[in-house]
Structure 1
Amino acid sequence: MSSSLVRGAKNELYQYISYASANEDTELTDHFKQRWSRVSPCDATLSLDKFQLIRTLGRGSFGRVVLALLKMDSHNKMEGNKFYAIKIMDKRKLVRYKQLDHTLNERRVLYCLQHPNTVRYFFSFKDNSFIYLSLEYISGRDQQRNFKQMNSMRFNLGGDLFTYLRHTGKFNEKHVKFYAAQIFLVFEYLHHFDVLYRDLKPENILIADNGYLKVTDFGFAKHVPGRTYTLCGTPDYLPPEIIKHKGYGKSVDWWTFAVLCYEMAAGQPPFSGKDHIQLYEAIVNQRYTCPSSFSNELADLIKKILVIDVSTRLGCMANGNKDIQNHPFFDSVNFVKIYHQTENSNSVPYKPAKKDPLDPSSLSQAEEPIRVSRHNLHEEEFRMF
């Protein structure tokens, strides 16, 4: 494994001892390094017929996410039902839209993650037509939604930040801090291993039944020890360096972090335009204003991150992510308690209502069948999966 994969535990820029003890730090690092160096191959013992498909949780351009129940058999003896959210992606579409590398990156990153605020990955398998990523199913407000955004597959597994934000309009700053601190911890963790997320937005943030966040959809995640030039992301959240086709690194995640903080507090992103051209012009010219309802601390945090010059952007200077963590906006935040999810329950803004995955009210219509080709499509391209 390349020595550039993991920065030293005492690196001044990207350490995450803000919430991990020395032993935890070593354990997390070893876990990531070991898994990155030997990505688990597809499980050849699994196939779609071992699962009962219950319902579609969401759709995207390359497939859908389905709630599935692992069937019991003589080799699978476990207590209770085991539910998974299985991301099913069409091989032909992945090849046609040149998403193969993104898909391989997604599986590799998911396999390596060990963080309370990221969705858990279990296994993958494939057949003649599709590849399957099995993720944890988060019970709660489980409603089918249809998303058609080109570059993402969003799904609601127990409430998501997008739905909750649209329902409430905007969050008070106490709640913004609670949610923003968790996203900070995820980015701090990913950046420690030189992994960029690159697709932050409310739709990609789930709310578990304990009220804490789970970042999902790692389709654009990538190990970048230096700079990359890939154009990807969501228009409202694109940083200027991507729009201008400049090389970029961890700076892009901190830009999206500030956009998310703004949207949570204001109910809408900071930049707008009649079309993408006008939107991008507003972004590269920093045409936005903070509402008067923002505290001085929140407005200052956003102002210092939404900076065109990456060398002066908060989170990208000499002290790295520590400048964000130590900003006055987070003075009242206990990052250790948030990481270990031990905050007083009264501090948790919202907990989705639990719902039985097999509730008859959710099974009003038969699940659309998965049709698999008799021929192994794109066998060579997916040989490494």
Structure 2
Amino acid sequence: MFSRKTYASKELSLRTDSQNTTTSINDGYSEQQQQQYVTYLKQLKSEFDERWCQKPKYSIEFSELERIKTLGTGAFGRVFLLKHTKNNRLYAMKVLEKENIVKMKQVEHTLYEKRVLEAIRFPFTVSMEFSFKDNSYIYFIMPFVPGGEMFTHLRRMKKFEETLAKFYASQVILALEYLHFCNLVYRDLKPENILIDRNGYLKITDFGFCKVMRGRTWTLCGTPEYLAPELILSRGYGFSVDWWSFGVLMFEMNAGYPPFYSNEPMKTYESIVAGRYRCPSSFSTDLRDLIRNTLQVDITKRYGVMKNSVLDFKNHKWFKGIEWDAILNCKVTPPFVPKCKSLHDTSNFDKYNEEPVVPGSYCRFESEFVDF
């Protein structure tokens, strides 16, 4: 499996009015159902806006959290498993060093990530539980998702069966629909940023490149193999880039590798801009058609962006049989459930050498993080 690098320049009711508590098979999603679902999204958007404007108050102290082990590492920091010493609840803590953030010119992205995580609430995204800062580091504390990264399971299985890929894809569609309704562009969709919970459902994580957007933006960021043509060409872009990345994700889940990849980044970009890729012979006709309409260089013809918006996905033949409201409410039996012996099981994560996190004796970069 190739390696990738990323580059950068209250509880809710999850039922729509049309929710059916059964998991009966439907052939698509009607406009009436979508209208009712949009009413539900408006409720979520209102609650998002309310949280966005508030500074959260936390009920725990940082000293009450005990570090257990490292779950992952990345360009911007490390993720640790924590246990609350009073109630034994587990969390995942993302630790970012202020100096690295400033050097890599990621202060704005980091502050945005904090606000986004504090404001979003959706079944298929992670959310912030607590955040802290000290003299040298900032800390994002989120729920522990024990199933590990989708990337890990994809690497082990080589590729997903279409049934499993379809199950995951339906959740990603709903998550992107929610984020876009909240005026959030995600910009870093890939298997490494998708976690699988102990019940088999997914959680999108790592919102470092996510931002509130009205109109267009020009920032070059994301993972090379997942970048949309309009982003590479610096033409200004909107939510369209997330749907392109979704097309790449669908391809990779079903093939085991992305459609655009070369050891030379420029060749990767050339293939993306030209929309040049080849589907494996194992792809079904319906899957090929869906990918063709999603990996569409012409934005005016790309699924997710046209007049019918997400209904182009929800009513596509490849998704025939998906009960969208049942997926939303996690009422569908997942085709795959990660092995988790207990709530404390970390076997779905790679092993890492432990490194100390020692804050400095004085406050560093205080002005840059005064709004944290």
Shorter-chain TM-score above 0.5: yes
Counterparts of 1:163 and 1:309, CA distance in 2: 33
Question: Where in structure 2 are there 5+ consecutive unaligned residues?
Answer: 1-30
What are the equivalent positions in structure 2 for 1:13-32 lying under 5 Å apart? 18=34, 24-32=40-48
What SS does the corresponding residue of 1:249 show, helix, strand or coil?
coil
What are the equivalent positions in structure 2 for 1:94-173 lying under 5 Å apart? 94-139=101-146, 158-173=147-162
What's the offset of the Cα at 1:46? 3.1
Structure-1 residue corresponding to 2:163: 174
1:86 aligns with one of 93, 113, 117: 93
Q: What is the identity, as a one-letter code, of the residue corresponding to 1:207?
A: I
Counterparts of 2:215 and 2:33, CA distance in 1: 23
What's the offset of the Cα at 1:26? 4.7
What SS does the corresponding residue of 1:236 show, helix, strand or coil?
helix
Q: What is the identity, as a one-letter code, of the residue corresponding to 2:248?
A: V
What's the offset of the Cα at 1:295? 1.1
What SS does the corresponding residue of 1:132 show, helix, strand or coil?
strand
Pick closer, same or farther for the CA change 1:16–1:279 going to 2, 3 Å.
farther
Counterparts of 1:359 and 1:200, CA distance in 2: 23
What's the offset of the Cα at 1:313? 1.1
Contact 1:16 1:189 in 2 (8 A): no
Structure-1 residue corresponding to 2:368: 381
Counterparts of 1:245 and 1:261, CA distance in 2: 25
Aligned length: 340
Contact 1:255 1:305 in 2 (8 A): yes
Structure-2 residue corresponding to 1:370: 357
- Whether 2:166 is the aligned partner of 1:187: answer no
Q: What is the identity, as a one-letter code, of the residue corresponding to 1:120?
A: S
Structure 1 residues 272-311: Cα deviation after superposition (integer angstroms, max 9, x where no partner): 2231011111111111111221111110011011111111
Q: What is the identity, as a one-letter code, of the residue corresponding to 2:276?
A: R
Structure-2 residue corresponding to 1:298: 287
Contact 2:135 2:364 in 1 (8 A): yes
What are the equivalent positions in structure 2 for 1:1-385 lying under 5 Å apart? 18=34, 24-40=40-56, 46-47=61-62, 49-72=63-86, 80-139=87-146, 158-343=147-332, 345=333, 347-357=334-344, 367-385=354-372
Pick closer, same or farther for the CA change 1:20–1:92 going to 2, 3 Å.
farther
Question: Where in structure 1 are there 5+ consecutive unaligned residues?
Answer: 1-14, 73-79, 140-157
What SS does the corresponding residue of 2:263 show, helix, strand or coil?
coil
Structure-2 residue corresponding to 1:7: none
Pick closer, same or farther for the CA change 1:349–1:378 going to 2, 3 Å.
same
What's the offset of the Cα at 1:20? 6.8
Counterparts of 1:365 and 1:324, CA distance in 2: 39
Q: What is the identity, as a one-letter code, of the residue corresponding to 1:239?
A: A
Contact 2:290 2:318 in 1 (8 A): yes
Counterparts of 1:161 and 1:319, CA distance in 2: 29
What SS does the corresponding residue of 1:54 show, helix, strand or coil?
strand
Counterparts of 1:184 and 1:108, CA distance in 2: 22
The CA RMSD over aligned residues, in Å, is 2.5
Counterparts of 2:64 and 2:365, CA distance in 1: 23
Q: What is the identity, as a one-letter code, of the residue corresponding to 2:78?
A: R
Structure 1 residues 23-71: Cα deviation after superposition (integer angstroms, max 9, x where no partner): 7445422211101122437x59733x33211111111222211111122
What SS does the corresponding residue of 2:95 show, helix, strand or coil?
strand
Counterparts of 1:289 and 1:193, CA distance in 2: 34
Structure 1 residues 78-128: Cα deviation after superposition (integer angstroms, max 9, x where no partner): xx4121111110001101111011111111111111111111311111111
TM score, norm. by length of structure 1: 0.83
Pick closer, same or farther for the CA change 1:203–1:20 going to 2, 3 Å.
farther
Structure 1 residues 162-205: Cα deviation after superposition (integer angstroms, max 9, x where no partner): 01111111112111110100000000000111101110100111
What's the offset of the Cα at 1:369? 2.5
Contact 1:211 1:352 in 2 (8 A): no
Counterparts of 2:162 and 2:360, CA distance in 1: 52
What SS does the corresponding residue of 1:121 show, helix, strand or coil?
coil
Structure number with the bigger relative contact order (C-alpha 8 A, sep ≥ 6) is 2
Structure-1 residue corresponding to 2:18: none
